[in-house]
């Protein structure tokens, strides 16, 4: 292995064979589109109990954030963008957190993977496990005992009074008005500037827009592209990243790296500040800003979480940040430690005259 890689800005990044061994494979081996466009094009197997408990946890993070912001869970209408298995919108409807719920996805696999009746049964199963004191529930990514401990699976004495609808459609073709719009872990597939404009048009005045999204700037992001130094995918421009693999890891299929990199379509790779600035420009004002950071030394995605990287490998987040600032100065050191953002916004529409003046 070469001792260093020189970027287009003439920065030399020291390469570390030990770190390369720690993080393992250089890029996710599956085609990102295969899972959705091929395997789940028409149907998917039922969601397992462990997978459901994890999806429930994702929803609980959003419910709890809304409550902390003083926003009650009693919406008239809710739209969930990129619903996938639709666990969170179905739980929202079954628990009567919104009278009417629309789950939206380009693919129909959420219809077969989970039903509203299955949600009730899964919640009952998990409530029984919780009551028994068992803490070794296993999900698709390992043991999720911490998920079981931090949630309340008991059903409130409520019955849904409205309508649940799973739409297979493109959000940009959708019309209507909603009181709450949510998107869980799907914004990496959108240009957020285009999406936020559409969300604002669908959101009623005073409505709420929430989302969780993986942070591009975490040491190992959704692409799972890694190199022989931490933050290699993040600290290099796209052209430099492909050149790195050609020069330093020629055994890696560069075309595959490019396809995985490009699958995550937001060209800006936004930070929390970028999301907020775009939201405000679309009359969406921040009410929830949370960063989720890894408090454990190891995680399935990053192998070594940022706090332990310097201790165990000698690599500093500040060195990576200096490289990143060459082409994206808005990134902060906090972004390098953030695995996910959880953001929420309230729409406060401007007077029609103000909007017309801006567009004139």
User: What single string gives the DSSP state of each residue in 143-188?
Assistant: E-HHHHHT---PPPS----S-EEEEES-GGG--S-EEEEEEES-GG
User: How far is 294 from 94, CA to CA, in rounded Å?
Assistant: 31
E-strand ranges in 16-152 read 75-81, 98-105, 138-139, 142-143
According to the model, what pLDDT value does residue 142 have? 41
The gap between the terminal CA atoms of the chain, to the nearest Å, is 58
According to the model, what pLDDT value does residue 23 have? 86
CA-nearest of 119, 118, 72, 124 to 98 is 72
User: How far is 128 from 230, CA to CA, in rounded Å?
Assistant: 43
User: How far is 182 from 75, CA to CA, in rounded Å?
Assistant: 12
Cβ 80 vs Cβ 110: under 8 Å: no
Q: What is the pTM of this model?
A: 0.90
Which residue stretches of the chain have pLDDT < 70? 29-43, 133-158, 298-302, 352-360
According to the model, what pLDDT value does residue 27 have? 79
Residue written as token pair 């809304």: 66
Cβ 181 vs Cβ 209: under 8 Å: yes
- At 36 the three-state DSSP class reads helix
User: How far is 76 from 88, CA to CA, in rounded Å?
Assistant: 16
Residue 295 token pair: 């408090």
Residue written as token pair 């960063």: 291
């Amino acid at each position: 292995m070469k001792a260093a890689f020189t970027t287009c800005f003439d920065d030399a990044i020291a390469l570390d064979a030990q770190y390369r061994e720690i993080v393992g494979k250089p890029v996710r081996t599956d085609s990102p589109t295969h899972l959705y466009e091929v395997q789940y094009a028409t149907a998917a197997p039922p969601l397992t109990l462990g997978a459901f408990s994890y999806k429930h946890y994702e929803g609980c993070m959003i419910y709890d954030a809304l409550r902390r912001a003083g926003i009650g869970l009693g919406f008239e209408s809710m739209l969930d963008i990129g619903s996938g298995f639709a666990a969170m919108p179905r739980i929202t409807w079954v628990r009567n957190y919104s009278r009417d719920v629309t789950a939206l996805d380009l693919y129909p696999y959420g219809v077969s993977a989970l039903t509203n009746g299955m949600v009730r049964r899964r919640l009952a199963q998990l409530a029984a496990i919780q009551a028994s004191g068992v803490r070794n529930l296993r999900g698709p990514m390992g043991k999720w005992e911490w998920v079981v401990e931090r949630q309340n699976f008991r059903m409130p004495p409520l019955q849904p009074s409205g309508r649940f609808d799973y739409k297979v459609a493109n959000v940009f073709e959708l019309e209507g008005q909603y009181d709450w719009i949510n998107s869980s872990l799907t914004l990496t597939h959108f240009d957020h500037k285009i999406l936020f404009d559409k969300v604002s048009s669908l959101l009623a005045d005073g409505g709420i827009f929430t989302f969780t999204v993986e942070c591009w700037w975490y040491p190992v992001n959704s692409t799972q592209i890694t190199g022989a130094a931490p933050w290699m995918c993040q600290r290099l421009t796209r052209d430099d990243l492909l050149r790195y693999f050609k020069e330093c890891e020629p055994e890696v299929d560069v075309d595959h790296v490019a396809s995985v990199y490009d699958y995550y379509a937001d060209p800006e790779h936004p930070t929390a500040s970028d999301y907020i600035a775009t939201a405000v420009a679309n009359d969406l004002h921040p009410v929830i800003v949370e960063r989720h950071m890894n408090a454990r030394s190891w995680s399935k995605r990053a192998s070594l979480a940022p706090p332990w990287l310097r201790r165990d490998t000698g690599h500093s987040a500040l060195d990576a940040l200096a490289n990143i600032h060459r082409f994206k100065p808005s990134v902060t050191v906090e972004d390098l430690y953030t695995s996910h953002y959880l953001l929420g916004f309230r729409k406060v529409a401007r007077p029609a005259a103000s909007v017309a003046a801006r567009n004139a």
